[in-house]
Amino acid sequence: MEATAEEVDRVVRAAHSVRDALADRTARAAFLRAAAELLEKSGPHIIEAADAETALGPARLTGELARTAAQLRAFAEVVDEGAYLDIRIDHEDGSRTPPWPDLRRWKIPLGVIAVYAASNFPLAFSVPGGDTASALAAGCPVVVKAHPGHPATSELCVSVLRRAAARTGLPEDVVTLVHGFDAGVELVRHPLVSAAGFTGSVRGGRALFDAAAARPAPIPFHGELGSLNPVVVTEAAAAERAPEIGAGLGASMTLGVGQFCTKPGLVLAPSGDTGDRLVKALTETVSSAGSGVMLDHRMRDAFLAGVRERAALPDVETPVTPGAGGEHTVSAGFLTVPAAALTAEGPHDALLEECFGPVTVIARYGSEDEVAAVLARLPGNLTATLQTATEGDDPEAAGLLAALTPLAGRILVNGWPTGVAVAPAQHHGGPYPATTSPSTSVGATAIERWLRPVTYQNTPDPLLPPELREANPLDLPRRVDGRRA
């Protein structure tokens, strides 16, 4: 049932009223670990509901549940360690010009966070996912706007999180849930919401981003909107291992029926015999991929319309035609086009936009200049991949790596972007429209989105938060007078 404006107001105010309960780092860490444990115990019911609503399959959802629990436990460790507080202390120093006062800096939670659940990850990027886990770890209550594609799964998951809160002595309202399009708009506009996290389409994300910026008091909006995830295959790489690259590309772009935000959607491959061998291997791999069910009919219709539009463009060929695999399914395929058609603005610009589903575009280049011209026209991306020679020198590699780096938040060499490790050094973000801010939604540093720095100047020790007191009673990592302490 869709929430009314009054219900959204009630839920946000309830979340705001319990924010102080999350101040205890020990309780927060215990809550996150309890949430992971209860999710695993409820796994069979959650997976059954999610499969019924998304058709992603028990195997995929079992892995996603494990990832979701691991994210929660990882953020519990982040909270325990305390380095995320970024504590910096500079003692008074009258010898400097001008003199330094006593300064003590740390980071505090923003307040209530609005999280907008993703369609393609009903667990890892939805109610119990990374945005929720990182916000709770930062000490922020969360109000999740459920995705309409998996409402029952969302209700099951929020009930688990609320039970975990109660088990660890926290108010259940540290996590709440609302449904409905209008509720999502009301949420980002609510004066007690301090920031928002979103994973979804460019159109929907941009509308919410604009609403967040148009508020009387604008708030941070950390949105993941869309990504083409370009791949460049060098001449040397294609000459060395074209069949391997073609097979790897086919497996990556059809994974999950092409519904991963990191799906490689544009591949710059050489023309000539080496590129032909790559296309042949890709043809074999994609042709053998079975039809699959997309998340809902709206996405299926958009995919079919998108591939029809792109396939009808001049000089575009379809070695394997993507389209309807059946009444409810789609079949994978790919398009080829001369890279020269993409070097300047024109009718082929649609090929430089994400098409959600099992399709990719192979742009065949004849020179390094064509590669550079196409890369110069690309928008921001989550990932960019370079396929280079593994043996001997590859004279193009260094220059291409430098050209790809400004385009994305994660740069891969001789790998494939589908698959995002939940690791401390991970970065899942990129220049617009990949994300609306230079932040990550995966990895330990995702917590930084929900914090703001505060400095205390010349404050008596008894008045300071325990984290900043001279004796360091909580034994937290700190940088004192420029040195780690």
Give helix 151-167 / helix 25-41 axis angle, nearest 10°.
130
User: What is the radius of gyration, based on Cα positions, of the chain?
Assistant: 24
Residue-wise DSSP of 236-289: HHHHHHHHHHHHHHHHHHHGGGG--TT---EEEEESHHHHHHHHHHHHHHHHHS
With a CB cutoff of 8 Å and minimum separation 6, the contacts of 376 are none
DSSP letter for 432, please: T
Using CA atoms, how far apart are residues 331 and 320, in angstroms rounded to an integer? Answer: 9
Distance CA 131, CA 123 (A): 11
309 flagged as catalytic: no
Q: Respond yes or no: is residue 2 known to be catalytic.
A: no
Supply 146's token pair. 């459920």
The catalytically annotated residue of 64, 186, 224, 396 is 224
Q: Which amino acid is at 316?
A: V
Angle at which helix 58-81 crosses helix 130-138, to 10 degrees, equals: 20
Sheet with 317-320: strands ordered across: 317-320, 333-338, 359-365, 266-270, 230-233, 381-387, 408-413
Q: Which tokens in the block code for residue 479?
A: 């940088």
Distance between CA atoms of residues 359 and 339, nearest Å: 17
Nearest to residue 374, comparing CAs of 383, 386, 382, 364? Answer: 364
Chain mean position to CA 229:
13
Q: What angle do CA 222, 182, 188 make, to 5 degrees?
A: 30
Cis status of the peptide bond prior to 98, with omega within 30 of 0: yes
Task: Identify the burial level of 327 via C-beta atoms within 10 angstroms of its C-beta, where 0-12 means exposed, 13-18 middle and 19 or more buried.
Answer: exposed
User: How long a stretch of residues is the chain?
Assistant: 485
Query: Within 10 A of 167 (CB to CB), how many other CB atoms are there?
Result: 14
Q: Which residues are catalytic?
A: 224, 261
